[in-house]
């Protein structure tokens, strides 16, 4: 039996038994949804429907319906793509990187964080498939023999790398998530009494039984998948940043983009996990598993990644000045003082200043403050992508091509629609899936449960 | 033909279960299987489960992915239709290799991860519609079970060990007839 130091704060509060964990995780699945759930579900599915409407309109009339114009051809759409894919990064980071570092606090949050990853990547996929203008020809992104002779996609292009990176990331995340879900679906299958539910969960659980050989393989598979996902998650956002960094647009053509984008992605992803988990722990009464300590740990990650992002912003400014390249200098001067300076300063406030407040223990252990700040961070990170893309493209090399940009209602509609879709999926997930990896949680109950730790401490004193 | 007794030893904690497993093995009884609600650490050597070779499979799938990606990009970009894109020609593979690294990496991970997951699911026969493998549904909740298939003489010995090590229940679930192997 692995014994944990008494200095460490317990990860499972109260006097819980294995049975209690089962009961607490299954409660939202067996129970009826409350009014709050229906209210949230109605709002988010209406937003989703509006999004579907705008999406169909775009497909019907073409992307002329968007605010994008000749100079600013990547605008709202790619901003949203990068924002969503960035949010997705926290899930894999929590489940893979924290598994490799043996951070046990990941166990209470990894399931929902991974679910969030998958839903965020789905939202991101809408924007990339749509921005090609003719989404029915998107199969041409894949290396298939086509009707134009043997002309293949360009493997020298970061846009094609992105196709491979995002599809690998999406499918591997789904597989990683599902393999972890199988034992928990089996637990639900063995517990529920309604025959239709039993049948559904029997199908989902793939006949899992918890045999010692299967657990041994399960742990090996989790470890190897974590080892594969860790470089994968870093590669995906690096490649997303290559879309910008390998171009010759001033303000984009910088070597710090990959680490800058990856830390920004983790930053916004953790913020989104916090937003969701603070609601989930309250609504489903999971305060014993998602403790203040978990929130504090996540806030510490936010300080670290937020500071990396802050340093990256300042480095960009310094390098632009130090390079002596006038176009580069102007690109940053334009961002900070040009017509869209408001976006730049929103970004700076939300991403650089606000996370530094978490240095105060009182603030990073406050649930209300964390909730507000997690939303502030995601607003800031949306503006980061907007600032990188739009003001830069408004003022490129030739002043005669200078342009302005404002989104059309269709742009806004699709974005709001993806937020609606994200929350619709998450709400459905939270009522049908085990929101916490209960099997893993049971494995740390004796080492990290509050009551068990107290007993161990008493034992040591006598 | 040999007739064997099926015994379920049910525990509510993993510590006495590990203790019982060690004692059973020490007295020469083969543990057919153990069912637990979560991965119990350190149980594999006690029950006698050999280390899985799935990681080796993952490596082989990864190498396959790497080779396939290399072959694909060589064929499409160098052999079949070489282009000079942005002053970066593709007349041979090695000079254009930096541009091929990202996709080579992604394909390696793609094949390793999916190959590994599929192998794992098939090796454990975890497929949609498969019958639940745990003989007692409580073992996914909070109970731990030692599953034994023993002849009469061993059954008596096992019964004693199970009860003395703190089993909550020792259930006899009928007999199984095993055809001799020729």
Q: Please give the ipTM for the structure prediction.
A: 0.92
Quick check: A437 contacting B, CB < 8 Å?
no
Residue-by-residue pLDDT tens, chain B, 182 positions: 678 888 898 998 888 888 899 988 888 888 889 999 999 888 888 888 889 999 999 999 999 999 999 999 999 888 888 888 878 888 888 888 888 999 999 999 999 999 999 999 999 999 998 888 888 888 988 899 999 888 888 888 888 888 888 888 888 888 878 776 66
Tokens of B172: 């006899």
Closest by CA position to A96, among listed A235, A207, A206: A235
> HEC states along chain A?
CCCCCCCCCCCECCCCCHHHHHHHHHHHHHCCCCHHHHHHHHHHHHHHHHHHHHHHHHHHHCHHHCCCCCCCCCCHHHHHHHHHHHHHHHHHHHHHHHHHCCCHHHHHCHHHHHHHHHHHHHHHHHHHHHCCCCHHHHHHHCCCCECCECCCCCCCCHHHHHHHHHHHHHHHHHHHHHHHHHHHHHHHHHHCCCHHHHHHHHHHCCCCCCEHHHHHHHHHHHHHHHHHHHHHHHHHHHHHHHHHHCCCCCCCCCCCHHHHHHHHHHHHHHHHHHHHHHHHHHHCCCCCCCCHHHHHHHHHHHHHHHHHHHHHHHHHHHHHHHHCCHHHHHHHHHHHHCCCHHHHHHHHHHHHHHHHHHHCHHHHCCHHHHHHHHHHHHHHHHHHHHHHHHHHHHCCCCHHHCCCCCCCHHHHHHHHHHHHHHHHHHHHHHHHCCCCCHHHHHHHHHHHEHHHHHHHHHHHHC
Q: Which residues contact A260 (CB under 8 A, 6 or more apart)?
A: A241, A308, A309, A312, A316
CB pairs under 8 A between A and B: 207
Interface test with B, best of A152, A212, A247, A437 (most B CBs within 10 A): A212
Any domain includes A69: yes
Do residues A84 and A72 touch, judged by C-beta distance below 8 A?
no
In chain A, residues with a C-beta closer than 8 Å to the C-beta of B102 are: 158, 161, 164-165, 235, 239, 242
Which residue among B39, B55, B99 sits closest to A218, beta carbon to beta carbon?
Answer: B39
Q: Is B80 on the interface with A (CB under 8 A)?
A: yes
Instruction: Give me the residue from A164, A175, A207 closest to B132, CB to CB.
Output: A207
* A335 contacts A392 by C-beta, under 8 angstroms: yes
If one counts the domains in chain A, the total is: 1
Interacting residues of A210 by C-beta distance below 8 A, sequence separation 6+: A183, A186, B35, B36, B37, B133, B134, B139, B140
Within 8 A of B52 by CB-CB distance, chain A residues are 213, 216-217, 220
User: What is the distance in angstroms between the Cα of B25 and the nearest Cα belonging to chain A?
Assistant: 15
A232 contacts in B (CB within 8 Å)?
106, 109
Q: Give chain B positions within 8 Å (CB) of A24.
A: none
Domain B2-37+142-178 sits in which CATH superfamily? ACT domain (3.30.70.260)
Interface test with A, best of B15, B102, B114 (most A CBs within 10 A): B102
Chain A partners within 8 Å of B77 (Cβ) = 152, 155-156
Is B120's CB within 8 Å of A209's CB? no
What size, in residues, is chain B? Answer: 182
Cross-chain Cβ contact A228/B130 below 8 Å: no
CATH label of the domain that carries residue A372: 1.20.1630.10
Per-residue pLDDT of A330-342, as tens digits, reads: 999 999 998 999 9
d(CA A138, CA A73): 18
Q: Which helix (H) or strand (E) holds B71?
A: helix B54-73
Report the share of chain A in percent with pLDDT over 90: 56
What is the extent of the structural domain holding A434? 20-142+155-455
Residue contact B132–A205, C-beta within 8 A: yes
Domain membership flag for residue A381: yes
- Top residue of A92, A104, A215 to mutate, by most chain B CBs within 10 Å, is A215
Tell me the whole-structure pTM to 2 decimals. Answer: 0.91
Of residues B73, B116, B142, nearest to A18 (C-beta): B142
Chain B residues in contact with A173 by the CB 8 A cut-off are none
In a domain, A5, yes or no: no
The minimal CB distance from A143 to the residues B55, B76, B99 is found for B76
What is residue B2's predicted lDDT score, i.e. its pLDDT? Answer: 76
A439 vs B120: CB contact, 8 Å cut-off? no
CA distance A186 to A204: 8
* A440 close to B (CB below 8 A): yes
Cα–Cα distance measured from residue A288 to residue A20, given in angstroms and rounded to the nearest whole number: 11
* B122 in contact with A, Cβ within 8 Å: no
Q: Collect all residues of chain A within an 8 Å Cβ-Cβ radius of residue B34.
A: 211-212
Tell which A residues from 14 to 53 touch B, by Cβ distance under 8 Å: 17-19, 22
Distance separating alpha carbons of residues A128 and A120, to the nearest angstrom? 13
Q: Which of residues 146-175 of B touch A (CB under 8 A)?
A: none
Mutate to test the interface with B, among A224, A236, A253, A448 (most CBs of B within 10 A): A224
* Residue numbers in chain A where pLDDT is lower than 50: none
Q: Spell out which residues of chain A touch residue B43, defining contact as CB-CB under 8 Å.
A: 212, 215
| Contact: A235, B106; criterion CB under 8 Å | yes
Q: For chain B, what are the domain ranges?
A: 2-37+142-178, 60-123
d(CA A34, CA A27): 12
Q: What is the pLDDT of residue B181?
A: 64
Interchain CB distance below 8 Å, A212 and B36: yes
Digit-coded pLDDT (tens) for A30-88: 888 888 889 999 999 999 999 999 999 999 998 889 988 888 888 899 999 999 999 98
Cβ contact (<8 Å) for A221 and B120?
A: yes
B102 closest CB neighbour out of A165, A224, A439: A165
Please tell me if residue A434 touches chain B, with a CB cutoff of 8 Å: no
Could you tell me if B87 lies within 8 Å of chain A, comparing CB atoms?
no
Q: Which residues 290-329 of A have a C-beta within 8 angstroms of B?
A: none
> Do the Cβ atoms of A17 and B142 come within 8 Å?
yes
From the centroid of its chain, how far is CA A70? 31
């Amino acid at each position: 039996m692995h014994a944990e130091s008494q200095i460490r704060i317990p990860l499972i509060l109260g006097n819980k038994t294995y049975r209690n964990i089962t009961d607490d995780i299954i409660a939202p699945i067996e129970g009826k949804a409350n009014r709050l759930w229906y209210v949230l579900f109605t709002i988010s599915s209406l937003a989703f429907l509006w999004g579907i409407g705008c999406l169909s309109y775009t497909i019907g009339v073409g992307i002329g319906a968007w605010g994008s114009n000749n100079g600013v051809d990547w605008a709202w759409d790619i901003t949203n793509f990068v924002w969503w894919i960035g949010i997705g990064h926290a899930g894999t980071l929590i489940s893979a990187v924290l598994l490799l570092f043996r951070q046990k606090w990941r166990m209470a949050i990894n399931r929902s964080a991974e679910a969030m990853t998958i839903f965020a990547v789905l939202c991101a996929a809408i924007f990339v498939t749509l921005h090609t203008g003719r989404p029915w020809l998107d199969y041409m992104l894949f290396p298939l023999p086509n009707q134009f002779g043997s002309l293949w996609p360009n493997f020298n292009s970061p846009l094609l790398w992105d196709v491979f990176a995002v599809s690998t990331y999406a499918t591997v995340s789904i597989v990683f998530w599902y393999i972890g879900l199988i034992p928990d679906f089996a637990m639900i299958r063995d517990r529920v009494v309604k025959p239709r539910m039993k049948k559904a969960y029997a199908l989902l659980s793939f006949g899992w039984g918890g045999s010692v050989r299967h657990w041994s393989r399960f742990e090996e598979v989790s470890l190897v998948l974590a080892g594969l996902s860790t470089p994968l998650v870093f590669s995906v956002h690096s490649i997303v940043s290559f879309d910008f960094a390998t171009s010759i647009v001033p303000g984009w053509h910088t070597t710090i983009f990959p680490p800058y984008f990856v830390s920004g992605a983790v930053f916004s992803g953790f913020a989104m996990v916090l937003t969701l988990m603070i609601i989930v722990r309250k609504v489903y009464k999971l305060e014993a598993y998602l403790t203040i300590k978990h929130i504090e740990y996540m806030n510490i990650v936010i300080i670290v990644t937020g500071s990396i992002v802050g340093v990256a912003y300042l480095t960009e400014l310094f390098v632009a000045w130090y390079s002596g390249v006038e176009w580069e200098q102007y690109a940053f001067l334009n961002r900070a003082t040009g017509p869209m300076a408001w976006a730049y300063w929103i970004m700076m406030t939300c991403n650089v200043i606000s996370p530094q407040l978490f240095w105060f223990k009182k603030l990073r252990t406050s649930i209300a403050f964390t909730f507000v700040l997690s939303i502030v961070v995601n607003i800031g990170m949306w503006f980061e992508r907007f600032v990188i893309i739009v003001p830069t493209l408004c003022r490129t090399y030739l002043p005669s091509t200078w342009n302005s940009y404002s989104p059309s209602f269709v742009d806004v509609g699709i974005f709001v629609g993806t937020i609606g879709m994200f929350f619709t999926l998450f709400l459905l997930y939270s009522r049908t899936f085990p929101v916490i990896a209960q099997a893993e949680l049971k494995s740390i109950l004796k080492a990290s449960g509050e009551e068990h730790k107290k007993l161990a401490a008493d034992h040591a004193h006598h | 033909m040999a007739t064997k007794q099926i015994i379920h030893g049910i525990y509510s904690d993993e510590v006495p279960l590990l203790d019982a497993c060690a004692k059973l093995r020490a007295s020469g009884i083969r543990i057919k299987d153990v069912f637990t609600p979560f991965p119990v650490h350190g149980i594999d050597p006690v029950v006698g489960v050999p280390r899985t070779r799935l990681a080796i499979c993952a490596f082989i799938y990864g190498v396959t992915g790497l080779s396939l990606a290399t072959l694909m990009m060589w064929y499409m970009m160098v052999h079949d239709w070489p282009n000079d894109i942005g002053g970066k020609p593709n007349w041979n593979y090695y000079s254009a290799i930096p541009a091929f690294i990202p996709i080579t990496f992604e394909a390696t991970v793609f094949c390793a991860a999916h190959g590994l997951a599929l192998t794992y699911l098939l090796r454990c026969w975890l497929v949609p519609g498969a019958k639940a493998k745990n003989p007692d549904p409580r073992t996914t909740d909070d109970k731990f079970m030692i599953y034994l298939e023993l002849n009469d003489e061993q059954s008596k010995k096992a019964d004693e060990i199970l009860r003395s090590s703190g089993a909550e229940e020792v259930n006899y679930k009928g007999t199984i007839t095993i055809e001799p192997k020729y």
